[in-house]
Structure 1
Amino acid sequence: MNAHDSAADVPATTRVARPSRPPVPALPALDQLDRTHRQMLQTLEQLGQLVEHLDAHGVDATARATARTICAFFAEHARRHHADEETLVFPLLIARQDPGLTQHVLRLQQDHGWLEEDWLELAPQLQAVGEGYSWYEIDGLRHGVGVFTALYQEHIALEESMIYPAARREADAQAAADAASRAARHADLTA
């Protein structure tokens, strides 16, 4: 088409209608899961600082605000993050039938249960602090926070060092296979 031709002069090509299909649910990008890990580590650091603050100052406005923020994060964002991993990342890796990788995924699934258990023990004390009550036991709280934090740090380290890289490779391989399949179908339609 040159500058003097108009769109009306170019014959319209007909396109075969594509079949309708149900929408694909949006997958949270692994980058988003990584960002949540960074938020988790920051929130765990805040949690440790809160325990020290409570020990030094008791329940004050700072402790109340921090406790509410921490509770909201772990009750909402962390749980959603674990659910996304359980439904979108882990099945992809288990499907590979790699015994070593499967063992790591099973460990992480067990961690999710333990982290939830640990949170259910910590949450009532932190919710009370958020409401201005001081019926926590500082040494028990310090111990519980230490256990919770250590497990989360190990869990995140395993996911970021082994699980997420494997998931990225698997997703890339699947995307390449899907693209090749689409190209082959397109070639068949145009042949």
Structure 2
Amino acid sequence: MSRPIPLRSLLSAPAASFEQPFEMLEACHERVHRMLDLLGRLRTHLAGHGADAQAAQAARDVMRYFDQAAPLHHQDEELHVFPPLLAQGDEGVAAVVKRLQADHVAMERNWAAARAVLVRVAEAQLQRLAPDDEAALDTFAALYGDHIQAEEGIAYPAAQALLDPDTVARAGEEMMRRRGVR
């Protein structure tokens, strides 16, 4: 009998509000970490149990997050965080932002390969991960560590220092509208 992958602790989200957009962005990062943790647990589960019902559900959960929430998060950053940082003239910060933008492109490209693996797991077409499958998942997951650290350590604080409260409030409202919240 297979042991279920514990999903509850991985799917619960930190509380944040669109009234505090930077807190919301950081809460999204926490969910990214949780989903990458779930992906790691899924990989371990597959090695011992194959693509059973728990594995299929975990694969669907990871796909749902990176198909829906992650692109919106990246859009939030591309629209509300990065432009003022590129416009403000600090070459060091601008270089970080350009790297973060390139990361977003790489994340999207590498998500396609990782997602293809997860689709096969969700559809019980893949019982064990082949080396190419492992590599696709590794490549995708590896993009996030330095990326999140640079956003939270450099980009977000720099943007918060530049943006007035009304601009931040408008950003939060736009983030809500994109998600159909209100």
One-letter amino acid of the counterpart of residue 98, structure 2? L
**Which residue in 2 is equivalent to 1:182?**
none
Q: Distance in 1 between matches of 2:122 and 2:52?
A: 9
- Contact 1:27–1:88 (8 Å) recurs in 2: no
Q: Distance in 2 between matches of 1:117 and 1:137?
A: 20
Please state if 1:130 is matched with 2:117: no
Alpha carbon RMSD of aligned pairs, Å?
2.0
**Which residue in 2 is equivalent to 1:80?**
72
**Residue aligned with 2:89, SS:** coil
One-letter amino acid of the counterpart of residue 55, structure 2? A
Given candidates 36, 39, 51, the residue that maps to 1:59 is 51
**Which residue in 2 is equivalent to 1:156?**
148
TM-score by length of 1: 0.73
Instruction: Kindly tell me the number of residue pairs found equivalent between the two proteins.
Output: 150
Q: Distance in 2 between matches of 1:34 and 1:86?
A: 15
CA 1:84/1:27 → structure 2, altered by over 3 Å: closer, same or farther?
farther
**Residue aligned with 1:134, SS:** coil
TM-score by length of 2: 0.76
**Which residue in 1 is equivalent to 2:7?**
none
Q: Distance in 2 between matches of 1:99 and 1:54?
A: 45
**Structure 1 stretches lacking a partner, 5+ long:** 1-25, 178-191
**Residue aligned with 2:55, SS:** helix
Please report how far the alpha carbon of residue 104 of structure 1 lies from its aligned counterpart in structure 2 after TM superposition: 0.4
Q: Distance in 2 between matches of 1:127 and 1:166?
A: 38
Q: Percent identity?
A: 35
- Contact 1:50–1:63 (8 Å) recurs in 2: yes
Q: Larger radius of gyration, structure 1 or 2?
A: 1
One-letter amino acid of the counterpart of residue 99, structure 2? R
**Which residue in 1 is equivalent to 2:88?**
96
Greater RCO, 1 or 2 (C-alpha within 8 Å, sep 6+) = 2
**Which residue in 2 is equivalent to 1:111?**
103
**Which residue in 1 is equivalent to 2:60?**
68
Q: Distance in 1 between matches of 2:72 and 2:19?
A: 13
**Structure 2 stretches lacking a partner, 5+ long:** 1-17, 168-182
What whole-Å deviation, never above 9, does each CA across 1:17-71 have from its counterpart, x for those lacking one? xxxxxxxxx8870110000000001101111111111111110011000000000
Given candidates 19, 27, 49, the residue that maps to 1:35 is 27
